[in-house]
Amino acid sequence: MDNGASSYRRFREEADQSGLAEIIREYRDGLILYLNSFVGNIHTAEELAEDTFVLLGTKKPRDKGKGSFKTWLYTIGRNIAINYLKKSSKRKEISIDDCIELKSQTDLEENYIKEERKITLHKAMQGLKPEYRQILWLVYFEGFSLKQAASVMKKSVHNTETLVYRARNSLKSRLETEGFSFEEL
């Protein structure tokens, strides 16, 4: 599968529902965790991810093919999350201690991230600014290039670079405060 593009084409042009099912299986978890960095609530993020797939199924937007399918999908998800935040008119930032969805989130993290070190890193990210969380998630967990991350976040590459730098420093100091060290940062 070429990053989901062919699956989406099958669904869009041939009404093959399995194409959309493949996309959901492939991208759901990553998208939820990415959207979670926006809304700070794993269930809301799950609903927003669902909304993203529903939008693909109903509006059937055309992928202009400028970037990878994953970048395009995350951009759609981001737009939906922003709309949600505008409607709810307040950004729900919740600390990891207060998170009642901890169990679900932990399961998802373990299932998706797998690496123990990265899971620790992801948990530490919860205390960062949403923008830092988003960029760190895209670059360090999804493996997006700076250009792809910039495209998803609708920023210039230079701005994204600066954002990554600041986010990384912020996370590093947070980890140091909690007694962790992460060499890759």
Partner 1 sequence: MKNYDETISTVFERIDQYKTARLRKRKIITRIAIPAFSVCLAVAMGIFAVKGDAFKNESSITLDDSTVIGEKDYIEPDELNNNSNDTNTTSDDIDGDWYGEGQQPPPSNSSGNSSTSSEQVSDPAKLLCYINQIESTKDSDIAPPHPVDDHYHKDWSIDEATKYLNVDFSVVNAKYVLDSSNCGAWYKKSDNTLVMDHNAFVYTNDKGSYLLQASKTFLPKDCIVVSNEEVVSTIVGTKNGPVYVKFYGTVGSVMSHNYSSIQTTMIAEFEHKGVNFRIEANNISAFDFYQFVSAVANG
Task: Show the DSSP H helices in 40-125 as ranges.
Answer: 42-58, 69-88, 102-112, 116-125
| Helices and strands (H, E) in the chain, number of each type | 9, 0
Tokens of 128: 């960062």
**Segment near partner 1 (CB under 8 A); pick from 38-46, 71-79, 132-140, 142-150:** 38-46
Q: How far is the CB of 29 from partner 1 (least distance, A)?
A: 9
- Of the candidate spans 20-28, 128-136, 140-148, 168-176, the one that interacts with partner 1 by CB under 8 A turns out to be 20-28
Nearest 5°: CA angle at 44, between 141 and 108?
40
167's enclosing H/E stretch is helix 157-177
Q: Does 28 bind partner 1 (CB under 8 A)?
A: yes
Q: Per CB under 8 A, does 53 bind partner 1? A: yes
Geometric angle at alpha carbon 153, from 152 and 156, rounded to 5°: 105
User: Measured from the CB atom, is 4 or 67 closer to partner 1?
Assistant: 4
Query: CB of 143: closest distance to partner 1 in angstroms?
Result: 22
Q: Does the footprint of partner 1 cover residue 181 (CB under 8 A)?
A: no
Instruction: By CB under 8 A, name the binding residues for partner 1.
Output: 17, 20-21, 24-25, 28, 42-43, 46, 49-50, 53-54, 57-58, 104, 107-108
